[in-house]
Amino acid sequence: MTASLSVNLNAIAMLRNRRDLPWPNVIGIGRIALAAGAAGLTVHPRPDQRHIRFSDLPLIRALIDDEFPEAEFNIEGYPTSGFLELIARNEPEQVTLVPDDPAQSTSDHGWDLKRNADFLEPIIRRLKNQGARVSLFIDPDPEAPEAAKKLGADRVELYTGPYGATHDDAKRAAIELEKLTLTAVAAENAGVAVNAGHDLTVANLPALVEKVPNLVEVSIGHGLTADALVHGMAGAVERFLDALKV
């Protein structure tokens, strides 16, 4: 099984927001990504709207519904009341819950599922009752998938930032990859599907896919956007899809 690719549009939106101008066009870039073979689009709307704006969400929803009905919309973020309202209004197929502080520049750690169990369980139940698949962003930890399953989550998303940071150190990469592998095995045993995201590239994806055969989805923004500066968005999507084939 080849993992699907969801293209994160946050970096595109952040570039747009540097000027009070409508380009690069987030919806247009999303259309190119989906036409090139991406299985879905991901956004992480933060309270200050410093990249994806709340007004972008219904436009992305409409793009998928009207032009790519087989694709999925994944909205990730910390489940404040405002975030949950955005979910209810825009009806993503998947919600990825992330333990971000609003001031963080990007996601940099997973949930402590034991400490946050009472907080997360009713939120997960609420989202699933609305028809969304729920994924929990976790650090590599073999105990986390079983905890996620008990809370009602459908998937876990492996935080691959430490793995991505080893781009110039093969020994460290092997160590981080082993942590991810052990967590993915635990997820399979727990009956929880596995997503992955953060600092994934054309160079480091094949090793991850080879070691984690139960990987079902990767969400990629920064590395894919950087690749698109050289190869164009369609070319970058094609390159990442090739990297997912082991």
Determine which one of 44, 72, 176, 217 is catalytic.
Answer: 44
Is residue 76 within 8 Å of 137, Cβ to Cβ? yes
Candidate list 51, 72, 157, 198, residue with the active-site label = 198
Residue written as tokens 């781009």?
Answer: 167
CA distance 217 to 98: 16
Q: How far apart are CA 173 and CA 68, in angstroms?
A: 36
For residue 77, what are its two tokens?
A: 């973020």
* Of residues 42, 43, 48, 101, the one with CA closest to residue 71: 42
Active site residue 222: no
Q: How far apart are CA 22 and CA 86, in angstroms?
A: 22
30 contacts 96 by C-beta, under 8 angstroms: no
Which among 182, 120, 176, 180 is positioned nearest to 152, based on CA atoms?
Answer: 120
In the residue annotation, 44 being an active-site residue is answered as: yes
Closest by CA position to 41, among listed 81, 4, 84: 4
Annotation marks residue 198 as catalytic: yes
| Residues 198, 199, 202: CA angle, nearest 5 degrees | 120
First-to-last alpha carbon distance for the chain, in angstroms, is 10
Q: Of these residues, 72, 76, 157, 217, which one is catalytic? A: 76
Task: Decide: helix, strand or coil at residue 233.
Answer: helix
The enclosing H or E element of 14 equals helix 10-16
- Among all residues, which ones are annotated catalytic? 44, 76, 198
